[in-house]
Structure 1
Amino acid sequence: MRIAIGGFMHESNTFAPLPADLNRFREGSLTYGDAVIPVWQDASHEVAGFIEGAGAFGYELVPVAMALATPAGPVTDEFFDHFTDALATGCRLARADGVLLALHGAMVTPKHPDADAETLRRIRAVLGPKVPIAVTLDFHGNIAPQMAELANILVGYQTYPHVDQRERARVAAGLLARAVRGAVRPVSYVAKPPMLLNLLGQDTSREPMAGLMRQARELETRPGVLSVSLMAGFPYADVPAMGASVIVVADGDAKLARTGAEELAAAMWSVRDRLNVTCPRPEEAVRQALASTRPPALLIDLGDNIGGGSAGDGTVLLAELMKQKARGFVVVIHTPAGVAQAKDAGIGGRVEITVGGSTGPLHGDPIRVRGSVRSLHVGKWLEAEPRHGGRREHDQGHTAVLDLGDGNLLVLNTHRTPPFSLGQLTSLGIDPRAARAIVVKAAVAYKAAYAPIGGEIIEVDTPGLTAINAARFDYKRVQRPLYPLD
């Protein structure tokens, strides 16, 4: 039994101006053919689960291609056409009995508001209707119902932070192997309650989302149900399929799949008001952090959530910390030009650098900072533990650490890097436990790494491309009515 494996993963923020082109995927991960295996086999990612499945379920691996980039604006049509052609051609030449694909579910291009479904259409077109396809999807996927017509099996992550990617991939791989052998006849159904969930309410450790996940697992125990995936959706994509969904895969029983999916979708709708969480504004949040008796206080910069496609150079919380004369803070800012200045000054040199403002004043005004260069780094590290995103190899580009005085550290990096691993700080010689306050440019995904060392966690309603309040955005293409917009 030959199984082709590959993937194309991007979370596209349609409000973000930075496009995801070839260079963005090269910065992330872009591999073809046999090169896929060494990059991903030891990761906590779904592609690692596909690879592991070969031994567990008795199939021969045929690696095709894998592309991943940090969330940003839409993927360029040029790169999309190139890579989908590589995937489709590779799957055709593999002469495989089945295909395992890692897709995100919230990828957008200028021509394709549902780029994941378009990827599936192109692969299905070259394979024909008989070759089974199993797809893994990010918990934040905006899943269009037609995806269930293009793939036989759809399996989504069920944790946020995403720490079950490899596990869910094994579920998909096992179902595909059984389908190829004729042991099951999987059919999928996608139900979509008309609701948008903000990222804080999507946290799977927080009620009522935690309770909905328990219902999903209970539904999986019913006879004939093969898999259940509750999908929260990605609110920063202005596309028709944006919003929550439920996927049920059943064994040859389309009615069972539909009934189960609609039941869980109704349960989501019943708690919709509790799934949208509010939080304090910057001034109050910083005041709470400085008064906290449980350091380090984590200030969660929701409006500049890099993992949601934001710029990573927001200055709102940095400005407020400086205004309130904070001591002992750590802030990471994406500032390639600042890194170059620090390198020119050298370790111990004094610098005066402007940070922020790459996307205009949306994330705060540019700030002039003064300090000494504490250290310089290449910005690479390995993450041994399962973390959101599942990656093992990390690269934030050349990095400088500035000492601003009063125990305050400003980290400047060259690549936009979500704070999914403590290695982003510890690889620079920074002990996060010793900080008084840490600004974390994320929403929930950081928790797998930061929550164990954090004292008080303070989520902050900051402005930006990933603001937690959906009313800040001008949606034009989503299906209406959509709660809480209507």
Structure 2
Amino acid sequence: MRIAIGGFMHESNTFAPLPTDLSRFRDGSLTYGDAVIPSWQEAHHEIGGFIEGGRRFGFTPVPVAMAWATPAGPVSDEFFDHFTDALVTGFRLARAQGVLLALHGAMVTPRHPDADTEVLRRVRAALGPSVPLVVTLDFHANVSPQMAEAADALVGYQTYPHVDQRQRGVAAAELVARAVGKAVRPVCHVAKPPMLLNLLGQDTAREPMAGLMRMARAMEQQPGVLSVSLMAGFPYADVPEMGASVIVVADGDRTRAKAAADELANAMWAVRERLNVPCPAPEEAVRQALACTHLPALLIDLGDNIGGGSAGDGTVLLAELLKQRAKGFVVTLHAPSAVAQAKDAGVGGRVEVKVGGSTGALHGPPLTVRGTVRSLHEGRWVEVEPRHGGKRQNDQGHTAVIDLADGNLLVVNTLRTPPFSLGQLTSLGIDPKHVRVIVLKAAVAYKAAYAPIGGTIIEVDTPGLTAINAARFEYKHIKRPMYPLDAS
């Protein structure tokens, strides 16, 4: 049995000015044909799960192509057409009995506000109606009912931070193998309650989301139910399909799939107010961090969440830490020009660098700081543990560590890199367990790496492209009414 595998993954923030083109995918991961296997087979990612599924369920994976880029603005139509054509051509030439496809579910292009559905439409047209097509989706997918029409089954991650990606890939592999062998006939239904969930409420270890996930897992034990996926959605995409959803895959029974999906969607709606989580403003948050005795204190810069497509150079918390005369902090910023200055100065050299401001004053104004270059690095490391995003090979580009005095370190890098791995710091000779305050430009995904070593977590209501408060954004294209923007 031959099963073609591929993926096209991007989380597109439509409020972000930075477009995602070919160069951004090259900075992330872009592989074709046989190169997919060595790049992804050991990763804690669904592509790795697809490959493992071949060994478990007796099929030969036929690698076609895989593209992944750090979240940012919409994907260019030129790259979208190129890579979708590569997938379609590869799947057609593979002459496989089934297809496994990894999509994010929140990809947007200028021409395609629901770009993942457009990928599925083109793939299905190439495969014909009889070839089983099983698709994995990120927990933050903005799922459209049209996805369920094009694919035989949709399987979403069920953890946030995403540490179950490989397992969900294995589950998808089992489904496609059973479908090819005629052991099951998967059919899919999508229910969409009119809800926008802030990212803190999406944390699957936090109630009431944890209870909803227990309900989803119990539903999977019901006769005839093959898979249940509760999907939180991606709130930073101003597109018609933005919002939460429930996907149920049943064995040949669409009525059963719809009933289960509606039941879980209604349960989500019932706890909607509890899924919105408040947090302090920057001044109060820093004050709390400096008073902490349970260290390190983690300041979560929600408005500049790189994993949600933000710039990664917000200065709001750095400025507040300096204002309050903090000692012993580490802040990481995307600042290519500062890296260049540090390299020119060399280790031990004094520098005066300007950081921030790539998106105007949205994440705070540019800030000038002075310090000594402590170290210079290529910025690469290998992550061996299951982490959000599933990447094994990591690269934050050329990186400099600048000592600002008083035990304060500023890490500047040339590639926007979300803090999903402790290796981002440990590879630079920084032990995060021995730092007083760490600023993380994230929302929830960092927890897989940092929660085990974090003493106190303080989530901060900072401004920016990924602000936690949806009322900060002007939505023009989403469906209305939408809770909490409109009256419940």
Q: Same fold (TM over 0.5)?
A: yes
CA positional deviation for 1:61: 1.2
Q: Specify the alignment match of 1:132 in structure 2.
A: 132
Within-5 A mapping of 1:3-42: 3-42=3-42
Cα distance in 2 for partners of 1:170, 1:345 equals 49
Does 2:394 match 1:394? yes
**What per-residue deviation string (whole Å, max 9, x for no partner) do you get for residues 78-128 of structure 1?**
000000000000000001100000000000000000000000001111111
RMSD: 0.3
Does 2:76 match 1:76? yes
Q: Specify the alignment match of 2:192 in structure 1.
A: 192
**What per-residue deviation string (whole Å, max 9, x for no partner) do you get for residues 414-449 of structure 1?**
000000000000000001111110000000000000
Q: Specify the alignment match of 1:170 in structure 2.
A: 170
Cα distance in 2 for partners of 1:127, 1:134 equals 12
Cα distance in 1 for partners of 2:194, 2:353 equals 46
Q: Letter of the aligned partner of 1:436 in structure 2?
A: R
Q: Specify the alignment match of 1:97 in structure 2.
A: 97
Cα distance in 2 for partners of 1:61, 1:438 equals 42
Within-5 A mapping of 1:155-166: 155-166=155-166
**What per-residue deviation string (whole Å, max 9, x for no partner) do you get for residues 327-372 of structure 1?**
0000000000000000000000000000000110000010000000
Does 2:219 match 1:219? yes
Q: Specify the alignment match of 1:457 in structure 2.
A: 457
Q: Specify the alignment match of 1:153 in structure 2.
A: 153
Q: Specify the alignment match of 1:302 in structure 2.
A: 302
Cα distance in 1 for partners of 2:19, 2:130 equals 36
Q: Specify the alignment match of 1:293 in structure 2.
A: 293
Q: Letter of the aligned partner of 1:91 in structure 2?
A: F
Residue correspondences, number: 486
CA positional deviation for 1:60: 1.1
**What per-residue deviation string (whole Å, max 9, x for no partner) do you get for residues 212-244 of structure 1?**
000000000000000000000000000000000
Q: Could you tell me the TM-score, scaled by structure 2's length?
A: 0.99
Cα distance in 1 for partners of 2:97, 2:315 equals 52
Q: Specify the alignment match of 1:343 in structure 2.
A: 343
**What per-residue deviation string (whole Å, max 9, x for no partner) do you get for residues 241-291 of structure 1?**
000000000000000000000000000000000001110000000000000
Q: Letter of the aligned partner of 1:456 in structure 2?
A: T
Give the SS at the match of 2:264.
Answer: helix
Cα distance in 2 for partners of 1:333, 1:175 equals 42
Cα distance in 1 for partners of 2:479, 2:144 equals 11
CA positional deviation for 1:376: 0.1
Q: Specify the alignment match of 1:444 in structure 2.
A: 444
Uncovered stretches (5+) of structure 2, i.e. residues with no partner: none
Q: Specify the alignment match of 1:410 in structure 2.
A: 410
Uncovered stretches (5+) of structure 1, i.e. residues with no partner: none
Cα distance in 1 for partners of 2:248, 2:466 equals 29
Q: Specify the alignment match of 1:260 in structure 2.
A: 260
Q: Specify the alignment match of 1:315 in structure 2.
A: 315
Give the SS at the match of 2:482.
Answer: coil
Q: What percent of counterpart residues are identical? A: 79
Cα distance in 2 for partners of 1:112, 1:154 equals 20
Q: Letter of the aligned partner of 1:305 in structure 2?
A: N
Cα distance in 2 for partners of 1:171, 1:257 equals 18
Cα distance in 2 for partners of 1:169, 1:362 equals 38
Does 2:375 match 1:375? yes
Cα distance in 1 for partners of 2:220, 2:478 equals 30
Give the SS at the match of 2:145.
Answer: coil
Q: Specify the alignment match of 1:478 in structure 2.
A: 478
Runs of 4+ displaced beyond 4 Å:
none
Does 2:63 match 1:63? yes
Q: Letter of the aligned partner of 1:36 in structure 2?
A: V
Cα distance in 2 for partners of 1:456, 1:29 equals 34
CA positional deviation for 1:387: 0.1
Q: Letter of the aligned partner of 2:120 in structure 1?
A: L
Q: Letter of the aligned partner of 2:116 in structure 1?
A: D
